[in-house]
Amino acid sequence: MSFIKKLFGQTNKKDEESINMSNVKLAVIYYSSTGTNYQLAKWAEEGGNAAGAEVKVLKVPELAPEAAIESNPAWKAHVEETKDVPEVTLDDLEWADAIIFSVPTRFGNMAAQMKQFIDTTGGLWFEGKLANKAVSAMSSASNAHGGQEATILSLYTTMYHWGAIVASPGYTDPLLFASGGNPYGTSVTVGQDGKMQENVEEAAKYQAKRTVQVAEWIKKGNQ
């Protein structure tokens, strides 16, 4: 058996043991203008549920002026489609053992809507309430090399300041190669037609399971 197969074989066995025992609370926190990151968040929700976690999908507040949204039919439709998705609060962050962020690239960085929300977490951070949470991030961009990895890493920079434990997918499962092989987190290219160019559904679900699993290990280790 090759090293890679041995590695994946061992990982998968532990995955199954842990997945059956999960009592983790997972918050999937996203921003999306035209639906891509909402879809990634929904797939992460499915993966988290399959791992036995209690899952909340939460959007960060919109900051763009009404006129900007009105001028873009896809944006307007997405805002309408997700009007019932709850907005994230600081209580949700405190509640969660595991957090997955999903955010589009804006000039190689996270969208300002997400950054604005993150910048409200200073009080929780000061009280040490964001430390030791298992976190990971997902992203999208119009171009394959348009900043998907950089955007995920921009979120991880903040996570290190929180003292969170970054549970990136790495190459811990062969399915990750089929979805573009971004070891930092699931990411996808969005065409001019708004459609995803790569099939990342399984990668997003897998990332959620892995983040839940790492949160489970942290919880057990802390007892």
Pick the closer one to ligand FMN by CB: 19 or 69.
69
- Applying CB under 6 A, the site for ligand FMN has a residue count of 18
Per rule CB under 6 A, is residue 35 in the interface with ligand FMN? Answer: yes
Where are the strands (E) in the chain, listed by range?
25-30, 54-59, 98-106, 109-110, 134-141, 165-166, 187-189
Q: Identify the sign of the CA torsion 146, 136, 43, 68.
A: negative
Window contacting ligand FMN (CB under 6 A); options: 32-40, 63-71, 81-89, 204-212? 32-40
Q: Which residue is closest to ligand FMN by CB?
A: 146
- Taking the C-alpha atoms of residue 212 and residue 53, their distance in angstroms, rounded to an integer, is 7
Calpha distance 141→200 (Å, rounded): 13
Site for ligand FMN contains 113 (CB under 6 A): no
Site membership for ligand FMN, residue 171 (CB under 6 A): no
Which string of DSSP letters, residue by residue, matches 75-106? HHHHHHHTTTSPBP-HHHHHH-SEEEEEEEEE
User: Three-class SS of residue 67?
Assistant: helix
Among 41-49, 125-133, 135-143, 175-183, which window interacts with ligand FMN (CB under 6 A)? 135-143
| Chain residues 176-195 in contact with ligand FMN, contact rule CB under 6 A | 190
Interface with ligand FMN (CB under 6 A), residue from 15, 18, 27, 37: 37
Q: Dig out the tokens for 76 from the structure.
A: 């307007």
Least distance from ligand FMN to the Cβ atom of residue 30, Å? 8
- Nearer to ligand FMN (CB atom), residue 107 or residue 177: 107
Please name the residue that has the structure tokens 């930092």.
184
For ligand FMN, the binding residues (CB under 6 A) are: 32-37, 104-108, 140-143, 146-147, 190
